[in-house]
Amino acid sequence: MGPGPINADPRVLRAMSAQLVGQYDPAMTAYMNETMALYRAVFRTDNEATLLIDGTSRAGIEAALVSMIEPGDRVLVPIFGRFGHLLREIAERCGADVHVIEREWGTVFTPAEVEAAITGIRPKILAIVHGDTSTTLAQPLDELGAICERNGVILYTDVTASLAGNAFELDAWGVDVATAGLQKCLAGPSGSAPISLSAKAVELVNSRKSVEAGIRSEGDAVSASPIRSNYFDLSQILDYWGPKRLNHHTEATSMLYAARECARLLVQEGMDNAVERHRLHGTAMVTGLSAMGLELFGDQSVRMNNVVGVEIPAGIDGDGVRAALLQDFGIEIGTSFGPLHGRVWRIGTMGYNARRDTVLTTLAALEQVLRRRGFSLTAGSGVGAALDFYND
């Protein structure tokens, strides 16, 4: 019940145990095409270029940024938590001229603040996190696409922590590129990074296409300024997933089975229903925590549905509480990073763990652990409030 990874859905684990096939087996190419179609529904996009990057979520981020950034390109990164710093770090390593704006952790940017920075800095790319797991807040993105469009800026966003648990509309919001992971609301293991690119982003990436020697044919592109990573070269990876089936990496077959099953389950449930499930159980958790007298961290009007930050009460040993929850109840919750380490717990209700029984059990266990450490609360207050919420 932490900020992710969480327990995988058993159906995803079962899918991963299927026999391997190579990436040119017709069964496998059919799975790849199906997976692309499923992720179009998950990202809510018609983008043809919707596929998987092999690796954890940051592999998706690196593929997106290294494939779009040419050394010297100006990139704007609004930072409101740890993962904004990660975008800055990756963009810098790609050789970008990175500009940042920062908000205090626990708050997010207004669209006007982002627009003012864009008009001042005139970046080629705006790279912004949607849900920053470190602070548990979600940056509203719905107005940023129009701002980027007006200013000729490519909009990239990291939806690793938010996708499927919070509303996200890639096409309707005018997002050019989004990347994710499986280990949060998608209910899978880490190790595959779904990505979707708009036609504009594909054009940008393909302008630097360089087919590698050894598989290059007459007439294939050779760029004077190729993408600085071979593994994350989206121009080649797009041709690997596309009708050309250009030879690139050996597909991580078991991870593809996992990613396909994660998306299949979400599409079967319906994306709106999945978001509503996360809202329901996230709100039940918050209701129970508040009834126990715990303070929530950050601007609650923009809290992610799937994870909540809780201020560790004065005089309570936060790591001791986490250890007792794990040892006595088998329940994991998280702390946070940087300025919030040891100050905030992060409690998740996501993916396979966004359920009534997990919420009630976690609240009951936390009550016991806190009472035994001298935190004053009314017995049963958290579980009772959550049950009242569910039953209303």
Ligand X SMILES: Cc1ncc(COP(=O)(O)O)c(C=O)c1O
Window 168 to 187, contacts with ligand X (CB under 6 A)? 181
Distances (CA, A) of 200 to 48, 109, 285: 12, 26, 41
User: In the complex with ligand X, which residue's Cβ is closer, 161 or 227?
Assistant: 161
Q: Is 293 left (phi over 0), alpha (psi -120 to 50) or beta?
A: left
Round to whole Å and give the CA distance between 191 and 89. Answer: 21
According to CB under 6 A, which one of 139, 157, 160, 235 is a site residue for ligand X? 160
88 is an interface residue for ligand X by CB under 6 A: no
User: In the complex with ligand X, which residue's Cβ is closer, 76 or 211?
Assistant: 76
User: In the complex with ligand X, which residue's Cβ is closer, 58 or 124?
Assistant: 58
129 is an interface residue for ligand X by CB under 6 A: yes
Could you tell me which of 283, 265, 257 has the C-alpha nearest to residue 386?
283
According to CB under 6 A, which one of 58, 124, 248, 264 is a site residue for ligand X? 58
158 is an interface residue for ligand X by CB under 6 A: yes
User: In the complex with ligand X, which residue's Cβ is closer, 234 or 291?
Assistant: 234
Could you tell me which of 354, 50, 52 has the C-alpha nearest to residue 185?
354
From the CB of 160, what's the least distance to ligand X, in Å?
A: 4
Could you tell me which of 244, 152, 159 has the C-alpha nearest to residue 204?
152
57 is an interface residue for ligand X by CB under 6 A: yes
CA atoms within 13 A on the CB side of 314: 0
Q: Which of helix, strand or coil describes residue 349?
A: coil
Q: Which helix or strand (DSSP H or E) is residue 190 part of?
A: none
Window 300 to 339, contacts with ligand X (CB under 6 A)? none
In the beta sheet, which residues pair with residue 125? 75, 154
Binding range to ligand X, per CB under 6 A, among 99-107, 156-164, 242-250, 333-341? 156-164
From the CB of 195, what's the least distance to ligand X, in Å?
A: 13
From the CB of 193, what's the least distance to ligand X, in Å?
A: 7
From the CB of 366, what's the least distance to ligand X, in Å?
A: 22
Binding-site residue set for substrate: 346
Binding-site residue set: 346
Map residues 188-207 to x or -, x wherever contact with ligand X holds by CB under 6 A: --x-----------------
Map residues 258-297 to x or -, x wherever contact with ligand X holds by CB under 6 A: ----------------------------------------
**338 DSSP 8-state letter:** G
Round to whole Å and give the CA distance between 377 and 250. Answer: 55
- The contacts of residue 382 (CB under 8 Å, 6+ apart) are 288, 289, 291, 292, 363, 364, 366, 367
CA atoms within 13 A on the CB side of 205: 26
According to CB under 6 A, which one of 83, 156, 232, 297 is a site residue for ligand X? 83
Are the beta carbons of 195 and 40 closer than 8 angstroms?
no
| Residues of this chain that bind ligand X (CB under 6 A) | 4, 56-58, 83, 129, 132-133, 158, 160-161, 181, 190
